[in-house]
């Protein structure tokens, strides 16, 4: 079993105005954010960074002048290939001359500018495809009807967050608990997105035993993650999000009784009497020798090579993998083993 800290990190980095008490409140914010934002397309030749009232602004052809926020200014510096910290030490007049020298067109394609009132929220190339936070939250409203944020954290944060750069939601189903030899598991998920390219679109689903006031998810099993970059096909990921929630709900409904039976059996049934026998079973199920050895070493803590001990080991190792493909392979291996207890 693994302990998940992603929601805990969100808990402590979000300001009070980025926290929302309910999914309805979050939806209203995302709707207002979308309504107040405008996409503007301008070639780089029509953009100019100018000093106005002792601060830097960007003019976009006939669309007018806009101020920067932290994210859009970082994007501009990246586009110009200049160091943000260096620019911040210059006077607005000097900084504008630096950008005049470094912002050089590399193609005829226009740039995509997202503005809200007089502020530039983001700047992207033509290949970037925006997916509004509202589109993602609408999927949650429709398909995650039994889920809700966990108890408020120690600082009052809720698990539902959104700001000018991104959104994040941590939700659990308080009706989905299953008792397994004195231990309880319930379904939950994380979901995230950024309208301005700060992060990918994605969802992680899992079963867990507890959530503390720091929003650390304790003893999670069956962790599955899907993410998608903001390219032309990013809207297809909404189908992936919907499917992930539907699968979690389906498992919840089937496992309120069945999950207890399977895990209890997995806790009692061995894959073999010794390490050699277990290695043969793992190899027959496509688990590589290095991964199998690590799983065996971890399972020894439980005192026997039970199905659950090995599934638990593979699940924890999946969370340690840096490569998404390796995480998926370890998760699939754990699922194959758990099937022995069905």
Q: Give per-residue pLDDT as tens, 55-96.
A: 999 999 899 999 999 999 999 999 999 999 999 899 999 999
**Would residue 124 count as lying in a domain?**
no
* Same-domain pairing of 250 and 328: no
* Same-domain pairing of 160 and 100: no
| Amino acid 314: pLDDT | 77
| Amino acid 323: pLDDT | 67
Span of 7-16, 99-108, 129-138, 254-263 with lowest mean pLDDT: 254-263
3-state SS class at 74: helix
* Same-domain pairing of 235 and 165: yes
| Amino acid 208: pLDDT | 92
Structural domain for 91, as ranges: 44-108
pTM, two decimal places:
0.73
**Would residue 119 count as lying in a domain?**
no
* Same-domain pairing of 144 and 218: yes
Q: Which helix (H) or strand (E) holds 217?
A: strand 217-228
Model pLDDT for residues 120-171, shown as the tens digit of each residue: 999 999 899 999 999 999 999 999 999 999 999 888 889 999 999 999 999 9
Q: What confidence category does residue 267 fall into, taking pLDDT thresholds of 50, 70 and 90?
A: confident
Cα separation, 296 vs 282, in Å, equals 10
* Same-domain pairing of 158 and 301: no
Place of tokens 């290939």: 81
Model pLDDT for residues 313-331, shown as the tens digit of each residue: 877 776 676 665 666 666 6
Torsion of CA 276, 278, 282, 287, to 10 degrees: -60
**Would residue 114 count as lying in a domain?**
no
């Amino acid at each position: 079993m693994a302990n998940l800290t992603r929601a805990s990190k969100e808990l402590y980095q979000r300001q009070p105005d980025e926290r929302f008490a309910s999914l309805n409140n979050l939806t209203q914010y995302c709707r207002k954010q979308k309504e107040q934002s405008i996409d503007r397309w301008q070639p780089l030749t029509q953009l100019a960074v100018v000093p106005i009232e002792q601060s830097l602004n960007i003019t976009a052809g006939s669309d007018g002048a806009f101020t920067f926020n932290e994210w859009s200014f970082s994007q501009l510096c990246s586009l110009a290939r200049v160091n943000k910290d260096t620019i911040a030490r210059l006077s607005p007049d000097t900084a504008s001359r630096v950008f005049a020298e470094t912002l050089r067109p590399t193609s005829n394609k226009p740039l995509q500018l997202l503005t809200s009132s007089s502020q530039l929220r983001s700047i992207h190339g033509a290949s970037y495809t925006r997916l509004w936070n509202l589109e993602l939250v609408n999927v949650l409203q429709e398909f995650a009807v039994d889920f809700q944020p966990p108890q408020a954290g120690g600082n009052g944060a809720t698990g539902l967050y959104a700001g000018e750069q991104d959104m994040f939601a941590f939700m659990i189903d308080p009706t989905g608990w299953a008792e397994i030899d004195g231990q309880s598991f319930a379904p939950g998920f994380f979901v995230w997105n950024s309208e301005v390219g700060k992060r990918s679109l994605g969802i992680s689903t899992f079963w867990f035993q507890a959530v503390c006031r720091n929003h650390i998810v304790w003893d999670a099993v069956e962790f599955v993650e899907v993410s998608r970059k903001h390219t032309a096909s990013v809207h297809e990921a909404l189908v992936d999000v919907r499917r992930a929630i539907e699968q979690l709900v389906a498992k919840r409904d089937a496992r309120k009784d069945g999950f207890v039976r399977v895990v209890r059996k997995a806790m009692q049934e061995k894959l073999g009497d010794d390490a050699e026998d277990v290695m043969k079973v793992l190899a027959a199920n496509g688990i590589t020798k290095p991964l199998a050895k690590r799983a065996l070493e971890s399972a020894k803590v439980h005192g026997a090579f039970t199905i659950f001990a090995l599934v638990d080991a593979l699940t924890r190792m999946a969370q340690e993998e840096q490569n998404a493909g390796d995480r998926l392979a370890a998760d699939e291996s754990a699922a194959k083993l758990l099937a022995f207890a069905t």
